[in-house]
Amino acid sequence: MTLDYGYLLKRRYRILDILSQGSMGAVYRAVDEILDLTVAIKENTVLEEGSTRQFQREAQILASLRHPNLPRVFEYFQVEGLGQYLVMDFIDGEDLRGWMSQEDGVTEMEALQIGIEICNALIFLHSQEPAITHRDIKPGNIKFSPYGEVILVDFGLVKVLQDQEDTTTAARAMTPGYAPPEQYGEGATDHRTDVFSLGATLYAALTGYQPEDSLARTTGKTQLTPLRSYQPHVSIPTARAIEKALNLRFEDRWQSAQDFKSALIKARDALSVEKRAQTRLGVLDQPDTQKRDPSRDKPERESLPFFAGIRGIKQGKLLDPVWLIFDLVVISLLVVLSLTVLGQEGLLAILNRPTHSPSVETQAVDSGTEEHVLNLEDTPEVQAETQPVPTTMVPTIYPTPAGGGSGRIAYVSERTGTPQIWLVDVTSKVSTQLTDFPDGACQPDWSPDGTRIVFTSPCTAKRVSYPGSRLVIIDVDSRELTPLPASLEGDFDPAWSPDGEWIAYTTLINGRPQLIKIRLDDLQSIRLSQGTYPDYSPAWSPDGDQLAFVRERGVSQIWLMDADGGNEIQFTLSGLIDNSNPAWYTDSAIILFSQSLGQGSPSRQLYGMRLEDIGQAEEYPIIPRIRLDYIPLMDNVDISPDGFWLAFDYWYFDVLSDIYMMTFPGANLIQLTDHPGMDYDPVWCPQSK
């Protein structure tokens, strides 16, 4: 019996509509009236023993899995006289089949990204003990979340690979064109079955045609049409990687999902910049671990000297006089600051320096500043005319690092294949790797004293949510690790309080993100969210009295609450445009955040708003004040300790993400990292140790 609109299942789940229907039941969209959460409910109305056992097996398997590319199961139950029911994530978005039916179809870059993401899910499934195979990968079972995540759904044919286990009749079902020959009849299947089906899915996505049926190919009735016969513009590495997955014999295919993924990554990295820009997904996946020439992946970037005004003069362009004046003011402030750092004695030494003094070597560094070092190896004549100075008393004068503090930024890089925490010196632009976790590490945040970093692990790619993750603290010098107590579903988005006593973070409760804070001296945790809406991405005010965070009520907006969770108030009013990743300016009077370019767009720019303008929607873009031939895409902003500089992710032509910095509110754009791998989520070290 098909459930009608409005039917209340198990006194909890209100049926909204039917997503799909087949001979064994339907899949419904429903609302959980207890948690106010939209869910998908899969139904099995065939109550024969083999069918019910297979459906219950699917529930047990899915309930134990936590992976970004797989749906989560919340509940399994049976209703007498109706059927079995599986409650899981509702993925609100299109599937690959829908993309294929559109006029523009699927680009080569999109197909490669989808393949890499599904390989991530397969690597996870195949590594379980015992291993799990999906056995029905096809375009209709690959969905895209509103956040651009690629999700592998429908585990109706799932099989646990155990020794001496017979495959049930229900699990013998298949989709012609996407099923390998071993799924017909009584042949053995293993993880390479999924490799074949994914290859067939990517073939169909790129060509618009299903590959010839594997059984017909096995019996010699037909052959596989080369992919490039349909689409000559598809690159040879991409075609070869997919066609190898479609070999009829196990031994001739890629021997693992990891091997297939590596081939797809190499094909993606070989694409031209223009082809890599042709995607609706953004860069979600992990880059190849091989070192590459960055010039192959990015167009030559225009050099961006320290001062935009000087840049305009050098190029013979007349810039806005307001910004020229701004540059001169910044120069004057930096000169005064440098003299202050030198102190009175240093200043007098410079002003009253004798004619024959130790020479000063000027060494240019990457950031455009200058480093002055006293040279003691002058000519003998000069040394004879000056008073001898003990070597230990000769000062080496270094400039104050841009941004204050230690001049270090922690960030996430995927250049080694999985996200890891790295540190970059803002003066020299030299990066060093801090973590090396097999499952990845991301979302760093510094302790107020600049000695430790809290981060999220595992994380296989840049995400909004990290089910199954936990928080870990690392001592930057000793590399000693201290894991924090883990929740049942996952913890992420850590934010260290200004007094160093608390860490606020996001935790998943029944699949819904909620805010928690934990006190570090006794590990006591306090729930801050009330559970009504999804809350995530907390950020402390500089005085520690408030938290900014993201609340999702149809769209994502920035909200405020007291440090104890009280006095919730909406901060941004951006209509149907999403806001995310709040960051407080140093005086607690301004909050910076990321805003989507349009409704549903994954691309973001930086905006700022004063606290005094709550309720008035007085939002202002924070973008580089230089002439650009592309739309600047920016995300994950963080403010330097001295308040002069912003660090953020910066997308060049919407292709690659690197770490940039600029003075607030938008001058002197400087690139800090330049690598084919994704670099993102920078955070300034609060102070020197």
Here the tokens at position 136 are: 């029905």
**Does residue 468 carry a pLDDT above 50?**
yes
By C-alpha distance, which of 633, 651, 649 is closest to 595? Answer: 633
490 class by beta-carbon count within 10 Å (0-12 exposed, 13-18 middle, 19+ buried) = buried
The C-alpha atoms of residue 358 and residue 374 are separated, in whole angstroms, by 6
Q: Does 470 have pLDDT greater than 60?
A: yes
Q: Is the pLDDT of residue 345 over 80?
A: no
pLDDT given at position 128: 84
654: left (phi over 0), alpha (psi -120 to 50) or beta: left
CA-CA distance, 214 to 278, in Å (whole number)?
Answer: 31
pLDDT value of position 65: 79
Nearest of 60, 53, 51, 62 to residue 22 by alpha carbon: 51
Which residues of 103-217 form beta strands (DSSP E)? 132-133, 142-144, 150-152, 159-160
pLDDT of residue 531: 87
Contacting residues for 542 by C-beta, under 8 A, at least 6 apart = 498, 584, 586, 587, 588
Residues 475 and 454: beta-carbon distance below 8 Å: no
Question: Predicted confidence band at 118 (pLDDT cuts at 50, 70, 90)?
Answer: very high
Q: What is the tens place of the pLDDT at every residue in 41-62? A: 988 888 777 778 878 877 777 7
Q: List strands edge to edge, sheet with 525-527.
A: 491-496, 502-509, 512-519, 525-527
Residue 247: its pLDDT value, please?
A: 94
pLDDT at position 479, please? 94
Reported confidence tier of residue 282, pLDDT bands at 50, 70, 90: low
pLDDT of residue 602: 78
The reported pLDDT for the residue numbered 328 is 53
Question: At 40, which amino acid appears?
Answer: A
- pLDDT at site 688: 60
Question: pLDDT class for 393, splitting at 50, 70, 90?
Answer: very low
Tens digit of pLDDT for each residue in 635-656?
Answer: 999 999 989 999 999 986 656 7
Q: Which of 473, 485, 405 is nearest to 444 (CA)?
A: 473
Of 498, 411, 419, 400, nearest to 457 (Cα)?
Answer: 419
pLDDT at 334: 53
Spatial contact of 582 and 593, defined as CB atoms under 8 Å apart: yes
155 pLDDT exceeds 80?
no
Task: Determine the Cα–Cα distance for residues 426 and 401; give it in Å rounded to an integer.
Answer: 7
Residue from 92, 66, 94, 64 nearest 76 by CA: 64
User: Which strands, in side-by-side order, build the sheet including 546-553?
Assistant: 535-540, 546-553, 555-562, 569-570
pLDDT of residue 50: 76
Query: What does the alpha-carbon distance between residue 419 and residue 414 come to, in Å, rounded to a whole number?
Result: 4
Q: Any idea which of 260-264, 355-359, 410-414, 670-674 has the lowest mean pLDDT?
A: 355-359
Helix (H, G, I), strand (E, B) or coil at 430: coil
Q: Is the pLDDT of residue 34 over 80?
A: yes
More confident residue, 634 or 74: 634
Which comes out higher in pLDDT, residue 247 or 360? 247
Among 71-80, 365-374, 491-500, top mean pLDDT goes to 491-500
Task: For residue range 241-256, list pLDDT tens digits in order.
Answer: 999 999 999 999 999 9
Instruction: Return the CATH architecture of domain 8-89.
Output: 2-Layer Sandwich (3.30)
Return d(Cα 74, Cα 58) in angstroms, integer.
13
Domain locations in the chain as residue ranges: 8-89, 96-285, 409-684
Spatial separation of the C-alpha atoms in residues 590 and 592, rounded to whole Å: 7
- Say if domain 409-684 classifies as CATH 2.120.10.30: yes
* Residue 151: partners with Cβ closer than 8 Å, 6 or more residues away: 69, 70, 71, 89, 91, 142, 143, 144, 145
Q: Which tokens go with 302?
A: 């225009």
Range in 184-188, 209-213, 362-366, 430-434 with the lowest mean pLDDT: 362-366
387-400 mean pLDDT = 43
Give how far Cα 355 sits from Cα of 235, 345, 352, 359, 387, Å. Answer: 67, 18, 9, 10, 13
- For residue 398, is pLDDT > 70? no
> How far is it, in rounded angstroms, from Cα 570 to Cα 43?
39
Q: Name every residue whose Cβ is closer than 8 Å to that of residue 626 and which is 6 or more positions away in sequence.
A: 304, 308, 311, 667, 669
Q: From CA 433, how far away is CA 514, in angstroms rounded? A: 31
CA–CA separation, 398 and 406 (whole Å): 12
Model confidence at 120: pLDDT above 70: yes
Q: What pLDDT is attached to residue 25?
A: 82
Q: Torsion-angle region of residue 676: left (phi > 0), alpha (psi -120 to 50) or beta?
A: alpha
DSSP 639: E
Average pLDDT over residues 536-556: 95
Give the Cα separation of 214 and 196 in Å (integer).
Answer: 10
Residue matched to tokens 């890599």: 276
Percent of the chain predicted with pLDDT > 90? 47
Neighbours of 145 (CB within 10 A): 18
Which is more confidently placed, 455 or 344? 455
Torsion-angle region of 510 (φ positive above 0: left; ψ -120 to 50: alpha; else: beta): left
Measured distance CA(492)–CA(443) in Å, rounded: 8
Kindly tell me if the per-residue pLDDT of 444 is higher than 50.
yes
Q: How far apart are CA 571 and CA 568, in angstroms?
A: 9
Share of the chain above pLDDT 70, in %: 78
Whether the CB-CB separation of 119 and 261 falls below 8 Å is answered with yes
Instruction: pLDDT band for 286, please (50, 70, 90 cuts).
Output: very low
What does pLDDT average to over the chain?
A: 80
Bridge partners (DSSP) listed for residue 29: 17, 40
- Please give the DSSP secondary-structure letter assigned to residue 95: B
Predicted pLDDT of residue 284: 55
User: Per the structure block, which two tokens stand in for 411?
Assistant: 């960030």
pLDDT at 311 over 50: no
CATH topology of domain 96-285: Transferase(Phosphotransferase); domain 1 (1.10.510)
Q: Give the pLDDT confidence score for residue 361 in this predicted structure.
A: 35
Alpha carbons 349 and 273: distance in angstroms, whole number: 53
Residue 561 has φ and ψ, to the nearest 5°, of -150, 160
Look at residue 313 in the predicted model and tell me its pLDDT: 33
Tokens of 415: 């250049």
pLDDT of 400 above 70: no
Confidence band for 22, pLDDT divided at 50, 70 and 90: confident
- Give 562-621 pLDDT, tens digit per residue: 999 999 999 999 888 999 999 999 888 999 999 998 877 778 899 999 999 998 878 999
Of 148, 144, 124, 143, the closest CA to residue 67 belongs to 124
Query: What are the structure tokens assigned to 18, written together?
Result: 């039917």
Q: Is residue 55 classed as helix, strand or coil in its secondary structure? A: helix
CA distance 578 to 149: 16
Give me the sign of the Cα torsion angle 349, 351, 357, 358. positive
**pLDDT value for 340:** 46
- Distance (Å, rounded) from C-alpha 401 to C-alpha 380? 35
Whole-prediction pTM value? 0.48
